[in-house]
Amino acid sequence: MHRLPGVRERLEDEYTRIEQMVRTRLHPYEGEMPTFTRLPERGIPQQQVLEWMTRLRERETPAWQTGHVSGTVYHGGEEHAAFLSQVYALHGQSNPLHADLFPSTVKFEAEIVAMTASLLGAHPIDDPSGGRGSHQTENDGEQGSYQTDPDLQIVGTVTSGGTESILLAMKTYRDWGRAERGITQPEVVAPVTAHPAFDKAAHLFCIRLIRTPVDNQFRADVKAMRRAITRNTVALVGSAPSYPHGAIDPIPQIAALAQEHRIGLHVDACLGGFILPFIERLGYPVPPYDFRVPGVTSMSVDPHKYGYTPKGLSVVLYRGRALRRYQYFTYTDWPGGLYASPTLPGSRPGALSAAGWAAMVTLGESGYLEAARRIMETATTVRQGIEAIPELRLMGVPLFLIAFTSDSLNIYEVLDRMAARGWRLVALQRPPGAHFAITLRHTQPGVAEQFLNDLRSAVNEVKQGKATSKQSEGMAPIYGMANSLPFRGVIDEVLHRYLDALYDL
């Protein structure tokens, strides 16, 4: 007599299945080129290494180059990429930790911060409106002082990515709360849609993160945020827009709440910071979200997304130099000398900052404006096409990131069928859904039309119960499992095994 496998055995079988799927996906080159688990006895000739690297690049490029991937590669033009590679090579030895040796990197980073701040409300003295005219606030009379008054000036630093920018902002508010308010058990209030980097910051810096609900348009519920504030709250969080649904939180209302309680407000504009200003200039309705709103005290923004710089470049901004100082780390008693670091790492690749500066000054406002125009025209086509599919429903009010779900079909099965057609969309959960972040790759002729045709076909296949023609290798099965199991510890184990698979040969 055979015993039916218990829950533990069934879970282990499921873990193994997902682990094998992930390994197949993440280690596709086994047997095609050597695997190195120790240094080779003799160095491999450079030409051979270049041949291997070229082969790998040729295999991995088509998926994003043809515009079949949500977000990820935001520019992708060959001429642009070749130019940035040239700049990177020129500054390959640069390290901002040694500013005296590489003062050019100091110039590049300071100007990246200044240019980014100017897009987000740090107006020049001779142009109080910042050239954009809208979203006037009661604070506008003070805008012209930003360049001279250290308490008003919008300042910041360059970081390695959006996560580091968010980590630094949260560390800054923790230290500000301790120094200015005597708060030893700091709390931060953030909507459930705010990026998990806030959870990572809370974990690393011993902050209690209080998650609050969103409304039916996936925007922060300000009343819920108000109820969550305590005497230990050091900052509130809003997104412009949120990564899951592309929703811009009601920043003016959250900012008023922050001012009322004399605490900080961090706006995470990692995704939107380099495109929302230009969408606004094109005349699309963009709610207030930046330093033009009184009460916004810090922002994170990623030039390596819609700023079209190389990956690994972000900026964190603060209202006033005094607040930025809480971000720094200094140590005066080390036998190795005096140590000062503005961000989390010590040594950093200065070449990234050089290439980022080069991307920004060569594109200029006209280049960013044209890119935003093309993206928004394509996004409008995609949005209207999704709205015309009866089985699908938009989530929130989309601009350049379009989230959708279905009330009648399993959206993860739709994702499976889209993956079988070569599309890489982003799966959402709580509630189940998907999103498609439009980039310049998708503005190529015919891409939006192909996407909509494939989406209609995928929906019809799910509706008719047809099996996929190709087994999905994406994350959709994992998301399906995550939304069907009430025990988050099971999903946590799946994610840990996924991370193991990244490094285990």
Check whether 144 has a pLDDT greater than 50.
no
Check whether 127 has a pLDDT greater than 70.
no
C-alpha 436/C-alpha 402 separation (Å) is 5
pLDDT at 498: 80
Numbers of helices and strands, H then E, in the chain: 15, 13
pLDDT in tens, 80-112: 999 999 999 999 999 999 999 999 999 999 999
Phi, psi of 219 (to 5 degrees): -100, 155
Taking the model in full, what pTM does it have?
A: 0.91
Q: What percent of the chain has pLDDT over 70?
A: 89
Average pLDDT over residues 408-436: 94
Q: Quick one: CATH architecture of 364-503?
A: Alpha-Beta Complex (3.90)
Lowest mean per-residue pLDDT among 255-259, 392-396, 466-470, 491-495: 466-470
- In single-letter form, the type of residue at position 414 comes to V
User: To the nearest 10°, the Cα dihedral for 350, 351, 352, 357?
Assistant: 100
Local structure of 243: helix, strand or coil: coil
Q: Which two tokens stand for residue 481?
A: 């499992």
Residue with tokens 């009379």: 141
pLDDT at 137: 42
The C-alpha angle 270, 271, 276, rounded to 5 degrees, equals 105
Domain boundaries, the chain: 103-358, 364-503
- In single-letter form, the type of residue at position 433 comes to G
Q: Work out whether the CA dihedral 94, 96, 98, 100 comes out positive or negative.
A: positive
Average pLDDT over residues 452-459: 98
pLDDT at 136: 42
- Which DSSP symbol is given to 43? P
> 31-37 long-range contacts, Cβ below 8 Å, gap at least 24?
35/505, 37/505
C-alpha 389/C-alpha 403 separation (Å) is 14
- Which DSSP symbol is given to 437? E
Going from the C-alpha of 290 to that of each of 168, 226, 293, the distances in angstroms are 18, 21, 6
Check whether 2 has a pLDDT greater than 70.
no
Residues 482, 34 contacting (CB under 8 angstroms):
no
pLDDT at 129: 41
- Which DSSP symbol is given to 16? H
Q: What is the largest CA-CA distance in the chain?
A: 87
Local structure of 428: helix, strand or coil: strand
Residues 338, 332 contacting (CB under 8 angstroms):
yes
DSSP 193-220: TS-THHHHHHHHHT-EEEEE-B-TTS-B
Of residues 282 and 467, the one with the higher pLDDT is 282
pLDDT at 124: 47
pLDDT in tens, 30-55: 888 899 999 999 999 999 999 999 99
C-alpha 17/C-alpha 448 separation (Å) is 34
Domain 103-358, what fold? Answer: Aspartate Aminotransferase; domain 2 (3.40.640)
* Pairing verdict, β 187-191 and 208-212: parallel
Please tell me whether the peptide bond between 241 and the residue prior to it is cis, using omega within 30 degrees of 0.
yes
Neighbour tally for 264: CB within 10 Å: 25
User: To the nearest 10°, the Cα dihedral for 440, 444, 450, 454?
Assistant: -20
- Where residue 22 falls among pLDDT bands split at 50, 70, 90? confident
Residues 266, 297 contacting (CB under 8 angstroms):
yes
User: To the nearest 10°, the Cα dihedral for 413, 417, 420, 423?
Assistant: -100
C-alpha 246/C-alpha 386 separation (Å) is 16
**Which strand (E) or helix (H) includes residue 459?**
helix 447-464
Q: Which two tokens stand for residue 421?
A: 């057609």
**Mean pLDDT, the chain, as a whole number?**
90
- Where residue 142 falls among pLDDT bands split at 50, 70, 90? very low
Average pLDDT over residues 184-202: 98
Between the two ends of the chain, the Cα-to-Cα distance in Å is 39
DSSP 375-420: HHHHHHHHHHHHHT-TT-EE-S--SSEEEEE-SSS-HHHHHHHHHH
Helical spans, DSSP H, in 76-217? 78-90, 103-119, 162-176, 197-205
Please name which of 397, 423, 344, 398 lies closest in space to residue 66, comparing C-alpha atoms: 423
